[in-house]
Structure 1
Amino acid sequence: MVNKKVYEQISREIEKINERLKDTKHKVVILSVKGGVGKSFITANLAVALARSNKKVGVFDVDVHGPSIPRALGVVNKSIIRGIDGFLPVKGPLGIKIISIGLMLPGEESAVIWRGPLKAAYMRQVLANVSWGELDYLLLDMPPGTGDEQITIAQLIKGIDGILLVTNPSVLSEKVALKAKEFASKLKLEILGVIENMSHFKCSDGKVYYLFGKGGGRRLSEEVNAPLIASVPIEPYVAETMDSGEPLLIKYPESEASKEIEKIARYIIKRLEG
């Protein structure tokens, strides 16, 4: 009887989640199989690039243990509040709507020590009660790996358009490819493309240095049978903007990294909107 009641409650929450998202046109998972590849930097700046293309954008920071989106989008001093119709996302630059556990905690240093079932319950309850309004794009910024959070999101949200796979040249492409392909296949999600972050460093004299190796993104794209959308270079501005909360595309729109991220936005718009 208890199990039946729990199942019925979860089913109601899933229905409510997808009712909440009925005015969201496209949902895209941003995934990295390994940590340390700059996935949240890509997510935050892709959100800005889409918003600059006159798209209504939301970001759900799925990472419970290390939420990075609030700082990356400069909203660490804001909090999610409850309105008449549910939780109201915090608004970031260009009207980007943001939901993150980092906006519900007392401070950035606060730790969340939860196991799988608690994380799943948190995601169900939050998503079932967020008032997103109309969105052209909802970016789902996953924690590294292919574990509980990633599986839960794929099971809760219907109509996910696909996965953007973020990597860097040093990640062993074969192992990443196998994990990414298995994850996408089991959850019936398409890998839309590969983004190689920290691809290279360009010196002031014009010389290009491949600090983490060369060609990893290309090999990964071939192994997962998805295009390499962009190769985002290492730039000194990146750490500065992540710390300050002013996205690269806003503070340094003419940088090479910004232009590569704009390529991702153009690709996604063309791929999903035709």
Structure 2
Amino acid sequence: MSEVTQVQVEEALQQYVVPHLNKNVLVADALKSITIDGGMVTIVIELGFAVASIKAAMQKAIVELVGQIPGVQNVSVEISWNIASIKGQRDMRSMDNVKNIIAVASGKGGVGKSTTSVNLALALAKDGAKVGLLDADIYGPSQQMMLGVDESARPESENQQYLLPIEAHGLKTMSMGYLVTDKTPMVWRGPMAGGALNQLLAQTWWGELDYLIIDMPPGTGDIQLTLSQKAAVAGAVIVTTPQDIALMDAQKGIEMFTKVEVPVLGVVENMAIHICSECGHKEHIFGDGGGSRIAEQYKVPLLGALPLSLRIRQQVDAGAPTVVAEPESDEALIYGDIARDMAVQLASTGSAGPVFPNIVINND
């Protein structure tokens, strides 16, 4: 019987490209160890992003590759992940254990940003990450309904100092919707809304999180600047639809995050194509390729494109977003791919730049 060598195993592993990294495990520096005991081979891999949903498929592919080496009788593949903190939180005790803040934003309303936010958060959690979701749309919070949280639910208090997040579908969540009724109009000027966001962010006891997804309000105003000033945002994702007016506003969003030195992790194109439920005919109702054009213009990835789907809308309206309502559907799998690509982009940014500077006005 041939003696199996480490060189043979490494050569086999060079043929396996890690999903979403587009590198083999050696180039990606994900291979932690190879142990060979006669015909028994044990491979340990550690990634910088969670992959619970595709872990079994990854293990199967590696076992098949290494199993072709003469003399190999059994292959064991251990895959784990260690999600690093790209940007540390400063002066926010409640966020000491929040590793990464990701803002999901859009230049205008009506492009499906909140639906995208909740499904990406759920996809990250499904992959094994610890995830929180903050609904930062002070004037029009929607995540309470999308997550199916009872309208009477109110967050509990910790030592009269912090709010405890409400858990829904495995996410730790906070929203202005938990603190007011749906009939309470938020007739606030910009600074008041910014102050409310700061309280929701800093006075929620988030605990240990790998990612805190922030569902931003549309536009580039006070809320966005408040977030940039008060929190160390690790990256931003821009949601758009293909039509020209949405793309113009998406450009403004990208420019804003660039100015405050927050890396744009990529663009998500929503409502990219309509597929007729009766005949299967495909039609680009709102235009074709807009997301890829803006991504190419700003040299950021197009993380993915989602169809115009009645089911996606019905599921969030019913309080069970697509990723939990139909986890094996085409749409849920797209959300999963986008979430992993987003996590890979974040891990590759390293330590991001400084937060938005404080503005001091003197009367001199």
TM-score by length of 1: 0.88
For the residue of structure 2 that corresponds to 1:257, the secondary structure is helix
Match of 1:88 in 2: 164
* Structure 2 runs not aligned, ≥5 long: 1-88, 349-364
Indicate the residue corresponding to 1:100 in structure 2: 175
1:184 lines up with 2:260 in the alignment: no
Structure 1 counterpart of 2:241: 168
For the 8 Å contact 2:247–2:290, the answer to whether it is kept is: no
**Secondary structure in 2 matching 1:198:** coil
Name the structure, 1 or 2, with higher relative contact order (CA <8 Å, separation 6+): 1
How far is 1:273 from its partner? 3.7
Per the alignment, do residues 237 and 181 of structure 1 end up closer, same or farther by CA in structure 2, a change over 3 Å counting? closer
1:126 CA drift (Å): 2.9
Aligned equivalents of 1:171, 1:149: Cα separation in 2: 25
CA distance in 1, matches of 2:254, 2:216: 16
1:4 is aligned to none
Matched position secondary structure for 1:163: strand
Larger Rg: 2
Distance in 2 between residues matched to 1:252 and 1:178, nearest whole Å: 32
Identity of aligned residues (%): 36
**CA separation of 1:171/1:31 partners in 2, compared to 1, >3 Å: closer, same or farther?**
farther
1:152 is aligned, of 216, 226, 237, to 226
Structure in which a larger fraction of residues adopt helix: 1
Aligned to 1:195: 268
- State the distance in 1 between where 2:110 and 2:246 align: 15
2:107 corresponds to which of 23, 29, 33: 33
Question: What's the TM-score, normalizing by structure 2?
Answer: 0.67
Distance, in Å, in 2 between the alignment partners of 1:242 and 1:124 is 27
CA contact (8 A) 2:138 2:196 kept: no
Residues 28-37 or 219-228, more deviating: 219-228
Q: Cα RMSD over matched residues?
A: 1.7
Amino acid in structure 2 at the alignment position of 1:172 = I
Q: Residue by residue, what CA displacement relative to the aligned partner does 1:214-241 show, whole Å, maximum 9, x if unpaired?
A: 1111111112221111101112212211
Q: Which moved more, 1:79-88 or 1:231-240?
A: 79-88
Deviation at 1:174, TM superposition (A): 5.7
Q: Does the Cα contact within 8 Å between 1:197 and 1:233 map onto a contact in 2?
A: yes
SS at match of 1:199: coil
Change in Cα spacing, 1:129 to 1:237, as seen in structure 2 (3 Å) is same
**CA offset digits 1:92-113 (Å, max 9, x no partner):** 102x0111100101x2232111
Corresponding letter in the other structure for 2:263 = E
**Which stretch of structure 1 is more off in the superposition, 130-139 or 116-125?**
116-125
Equivalent residue, structure 2, for 1:8? none
User: Partners of 2:297 and 2:340 in 1: how far apart?
Assistant: 23
Matching residue within 73, 84, 108 for 2:147: 73
Q: Structure 1 stretches of 5 or more lacking a match?
A: 1-13
CA offsets per residue over residues 245-266 of structure 1, 9 Å max, x none? 1111111223222121111111
Q: Which residue number in structure 1 is paired with residue 125 of structure 2?
A: 51
Q: Which runs of 4+ in 1 moved over 6 A?
A: none
1:123 aligned residue (179, 186, 197): 197
Tell me the residue number matched to 2:297: 223
